[in-house]
Amino acid sequence: MPEPLIKLENVWKTYQLGKVELSALKGINLEISPGAFITIMGPSGSGKSTLLNMIGLLDSPSRGKIILKGKDISSFSENQLSKLRGKTIGFIFQEFNLLPHLNSLENVKLPMIFQGISEEEREKRAGDLLVSVGLTERISHLPAELSIGERQRVAIARAFANNPELVIADEPTGNLDSINGKKIMEI
């Protein structure tokens, strides 16, 4: 069996809300292997977003360990974590987080800048990704000029910009019709 891409060992996340302590995660153990497709489901307030933040290295546990590709990341600096996230993880956020002053192509190229990818390669890869999500005619449009479904597809293309080993998607097809939703899941 291959080594897990990411492993959570007895992960807890506790928030202090005034005098009240709230445990969002309690003793989570999870392994995600390369090629796995995992769905996290539960009612509102059950800790799904907190768990996604742990898996995506956006937050650290109150206790327990997160191991990415065999390395315990608990002692990593924020700078080290940022570089690791950029190389390894693609994010599709529910709110898209597109920069409003950048067009579709520029939004998709952005994560590649931080990985030192050449301008020529960024341009080609971003264009190819936008074509793959059906946005050939919308490459030069700003987010405000796109429908919600088109913005979501730009965000999905951006998530794949650095060829991530892990993609974390918070309701990736929530704003898409069934045909585009199926196409996105195939990608």
Domain boundaries, given as residue ranges, for the chain: 6-76, 97-186
Tell me the average pLDDT of the chain: 90
The residue-averaged pLDDT of 109-132 equals 95
**pLDDT (0 to 100) of residue 86:** 87
Is residue 175 very low, low, confident or very high in pLDDT (cuts 50, 70, 90)? low
Quote the CA–CA distance of 74 and 123 in Å, as a whole number.
Answer: 35
Q: What is the pLDDT of residues 98-117, one digit of tens each?
A: 999 999 999 999 999 988 89
Tell me, yes or no, if the two domains 6-76 and 97-186 fold the same way: yes
Record: fold of 6-76 = Rossmann fold (3.40.50)
Which structure tokens are listed for 19?
Answer: 């005098």
Q: pTM for the full model?
A: 0.83
Is residue 19 very low, low, confident or very high in pLDDT (cuts 50, 70, 90)? very high
Selection from 145, 162, 180, 158 nearest residue 105 by Cα: 158
Q: What string of DSSP letters covers 4-64?
A: PSEEEEEEEEEEEETTEEEEEEEEEEEEE-TT--------TTSSHHHHHHHHTTSS--SEE
The residue-averaged pLDDT of 48-64 equals 92
Q: Is the pLDDT of residue 1 over 70?
A: no
CATH number of the domain located at residue range(s) 97-186 in this protein: 3.40.50.300
